[in-house]
Chains A and B, each alone.
Chain A
């Protein structure tokens, strides 16, 4: 499959520079697939292969998808080496902004940026509508589920979710029993991982209801892309993502014990050595609130949370916390936590402070509970699930386990409570020895494992050694919930890309990078301006 997208366009432009010039001003080109004139300079996409995968930008016949035309046309008109130059220039600005992590093994304290790929992923308007509706439905049901689990447990009594699963889950937090968080929201900030299979169907791969990270990359990626590709943004009608911090601040204020009273909102971070520290700091800065560490806070004898300021102690009303449940309060959970605030759970239970996300949400993103989400949606909302799960085998069920053990070489096996791409077996890429290890682990503790078919994840053209090749991606949109039935979905999300050829693992800890994600606006809808 040869990509013919550039062939209908003349190749007159060789002067495109990083300074936005008139040459970059492209409208949606008229496509004439029958045209077969060979381009003068064989650049980039001319050799692009979609292979047997669903490609987010290029159709299987090699033509650009309609919403990707302006972008691919620009790429094809760039002089040789220009795309690479812009890639480098973006990397340079990320470095200058200090969006880096430190390579600790290196004595010099070398700093690296998160790998970033210059070619964005584009999501068309209809697909996005489908995603948005599906995510709202899913998070609505999951918030109802959490409230039920820590209170009446109707869903267990009705036998929809096995009681045994809940009671054996390491993420169940008995300290939350009987809790009624403000507005019945448990998961205020959710990052749901979506993938697309070979047919182009959008599927939910996992739910992240604890402290999903990555949204700062969404916002920063957009900022650097706009500087480097100003005109093509306008031509592509991209929806803005810069409203995130505002939405988040409003949502957090709405959770305050007395929401009308100009509540004091803070972001709680484990500190500068945490790998997501940049994001914590970025969100606090964007919302204009204090970024606090555990040692900046204390709980007084009236169970109020206070922070230490240069003019004394000041009351805190809402905490967007980026510390794991068990490190949050050494009085209630891990005694050895140096990061938390002694008494925080006391203050929370007394209703004197709101926590986002609520403690205990981990029970709902357990990878085994995940398999029950379609039933959970049906149970609480009396609706069919709109964004389906990936087909999942629950090893606790005898028939599923039998199938999994017989097909380890074809399946992806996941441990219930691991993340970041750890505790995972990718069958087709695994050795016999690894399969045997997993078989033993599954038999020893079936409750802890699920398996899914190995998906042919969709791909996006990606810069590899100065050329564009298809690389597999996933998508993490971010959802803010002010009430179970009142959620806002950021029009965009983190597209993670597996940079290694053929790899399906997109985690940054395992050779993954990220891309900007462009959600196309409806005609006349809100668009991303260059000033945003």
Chain B
């Protein structure tokens, strides 16, 4: 398929997944504020640190509050990673490769964008929870429409790679939210508040029920294991990385291309994730481990770009280094 089309599909997929995850971040933070009436940590500040550009936020909004962080992450058109900006770009990308999508896919992203834009036009949201819930449903619909109306060809695999890499990154950051909220109040560990916060995190990745069935009680190592290493759960980091790896292999097969940098990096990452335990992550430094994972995911993004979207650039680069 055309490199430009593959790239647009990949980004479109990342952008919709990003918008969806912002809704999840906001939901979990609202829950934190409800569960924790006397805030020792401002969870909204923590959220800005985990998800976004802190300097930009401070300059524009000042002190983080539920209202301004909500508006910033959901609707700020000046911030390119807000929900509305992401959806606008996703829709532009969809529009520019519309001929390669089913009409249902285009209509779904078109509707998704218009709904969020309509919400943005309102003075203040009557019920943030209803809105966030709607966003989550629209995103799940989007995923369903894509999976049930698109052939699983190269285009679909690029879609899948985008969605999975974005999701792996965001799942790890949701886990990081807890780290930022936890820091100054070590005495809370193991208390009711702590349990409620872990539960909120699990809800944010739609995993609370699956977790309960598997482990029943909330234990930190089990929660970390579930987030990072549960191969059966569709939002866990290892599941996402394995799924992306599968799609990369499929693309190589169908295009008859020799495995490149992307393939090698994904293989290494899958292997490492499969051979690390939650206990090791906690005993080391969990935030550091998550940080490292995010760096690797970013490098993967660059590798994909050179391997599939800008092959001529990659070839030029290798001929320069060879000479």
Q: How many residue pairs bridge A and B at CB < 8 Å? A: 67
Known: A98-B95, A285-B99, A291-B99. A310 touches B111 (CB 8 A): no
- Which A residues, 157 to 191, have Cβ-Cβ distances below 8 Å to chain B? none
Judge whether B3 and A309 touch: CB under 8 Å.
yes
- Which A residues, 302 to 347, have Cβ-Cβ distances below 8 Å to chain B? 307-312
Judge whether B99 and A97 touch: CB under 8 Å.
no
**Is there a chain A Cβ closer than 8 Å to B6's Cβ?**
yes
Judge whether A309 and B1 touch: CB under 8 Å.
yes
Contacting residue for A310 out of B6, B99, B100, CB 8 A: B6
Give every chain A residue within 8 A of B257 (Cβ-Cβ). Answer: 311
Give every chain B residue within 8 A of A312 (Cβ-Cβ). Answer: 311
**Is there a chain A Cβ closer than 8 Å to B229's Cβ?**
no
Q: How far is the CB of B5 from chain A (nearest CB, A)?
A: 7
Q: How far is the CB of A242 from chain B (nearest CB, A)?
A: 14
Q: How far is the CB of B217 from chain A (nearest CB, A)?
A: 47
Q: Per-position contact with A for B1-19: 1 when CB-CB < 8 Å, else 0?
A: 1111110000000000000
Known: A96-B110, A290-B5. A310 touches B255 (CB 8 A): yes
Give every chain A residue within 8 A of B110 (Cβ-Cβ). Answer: 96-98
Judge whether A296 and B4 touch: CB under 8 Å.
yes
Give every chain B residue within 8 A of A271 (Cβ-Cβ). Answer: 96
- Which B residues, 1 to 53, have Cβ-Cβ distances below 8 Å to chain A? 1-6
Give every chain B residue within 8 A of A371 (Cβ-Cβ). Answer: none
Size range of the interface on B? 20 to 34
Interface centre among A277, A293, A310, by most chain B C-beta atoms within 10 angstroms, is A310
Q: How far is the CB of A221 from chain B (nearest CB, A)?
A: 16
Judge whether A308 and B3 touch: CB under 8 Å.
yes
Interface centre among A272, A289, A290, A311, by most chain B C-beta atoms within 10 angstroms, is A311
- Which B residues, 254 to 294, have Cβ-Cβ distances below 8 Å to chain A? 255-257
**Is there a chain B Cβ closer than 8 Å to A458's Cβ?**
no
A295 to B54, CA, bound (A): 37
Give every chain B residue within 8 A of A308 (Cβ-Cβ). Answer: 2-4, 311-312
**Is there a chain A Cβ closer than 8 Å to B98's Cβ?**
yes
**Is there a chain A Cβ closer than 8 Å to B154's Cβ?**
yes
A295 to B92, CA, bound (A): 18
**Is there a chain B Cβ closer than 8 Å to A284's Cβ?**
yes
Judge whether A307 and B2 touch: CB under 8 Å.
yes
Size range of the interface on A? 20 to 34
Q: How far is the CB of B158 from chain A (nearest CB, A)?
A: 8
Chain A at the B interface: SS class: mixed
Give every chain B residue within 8 A of A98 (Cβ-Cβ). Answer: 95, 98, 106-107, 110
**Is there a chain A Cβ closer than 8 Å to B227's Cβ?**
no
A285 to B4, CA, bound (A): 16
Judge whether B103 and A97 touch: CB under 8 Å.
yes
**Is there a chain A Cβ closer than 8 Å to B159's Cβ?**
no
Give every chain A residue within 8 A of B107 (Cβ-Cβ). Answer: 96-98
Give every chain B residue within 8 A of A272 (Cβ-Cβ). Answer: 92, 95-96
Contacting residue for A309 out of B2, B103, B111, CB 8 A: B2
Contacting residue for A281 out of B6, B98, B158, B311, CB 8 A: B98
Judge whether A293 and B98 touch: CB under 8 Å.
no
A271 to B, closest residue via Cβ: B96
**Is there a chain A Cβ closer than 8 Å to B251's Cβ?**
yes
Give every chain B residue within 8 A of A285 (Cβ-Cβ). Answer: 98-100, 103
**Is there a chain B Cβ closer than 8 Å to A292's Cβ?**
yes
- Which B residues, 232 to 272, have Cβ-Cβ distances below 8 Å to chain A? 251, 255-257
Q: How far is the CB of A246 from chain B (nearest CB, A)?
A: 16
**Is there a chain A Cβ closer than 8 Å to B308's Cβ?**
yes
Q: How far is the CB of A287 from chain B (nearest CB, A)?
A: 9
A291 to B107, CA, bound (A): 19
Q: How far is the CB of B118 from chain A (nearest CB, A)?
A: 11
Give every chain B residue within 8 A of A296 (Cβ-Cβ). Answer: 2-4
Give every chain B residue within 8 A of A290 (Cβ-Cβ). Answer: 1-2, 5, 99-100
Give every chain A residue within 8 A of B3 (Cβ-Cβ). Answer: 296, 308-310
A296 to B4, CA, bound (A): 7
Judge whether A293 and B4 touch: CB under 8 Å.
yes
Known: A97-B107, A310-B154, A312-B311. A284 touches B4 (CB 8 A): no
A280 to B, closest residue via Cβ: B99
Q: How far is the CB of A192 from chain B (nearest CB, A)?
A: 27
In the complex, given contacts A282-B99, A290-B5, A310-B154, what are 16 additional A-B residue pairs having Cβ atoms less than 8 angstroms apart?
A: A97-B107, A97-B110, A98-B95, A98-B98, A98-B110, A267-B99, A272-B92, A272-B96, A281-B95, A290-B2, A290-B100, A296-B3, A296-B4, A308-B2, A308-B3, A309-B2
16 A-B pairs whose Cβ atoms sit less than 8 Å apart in the complex: A96-B107, A97-B107, A277-B95, A281-B99, A285-B98, A290-B1, A290-B5, A291-B97, A296-B2, A309-B3, A310-B1, A310-B2, A310-B308, A310-B311, A311-B255, A311-B256
Chain A positions near chain B (C-beta within 8 angstroms): 96-98, 267, 271-272, 277, 281-282, 284-285, 289-293, 295-296, 307-312
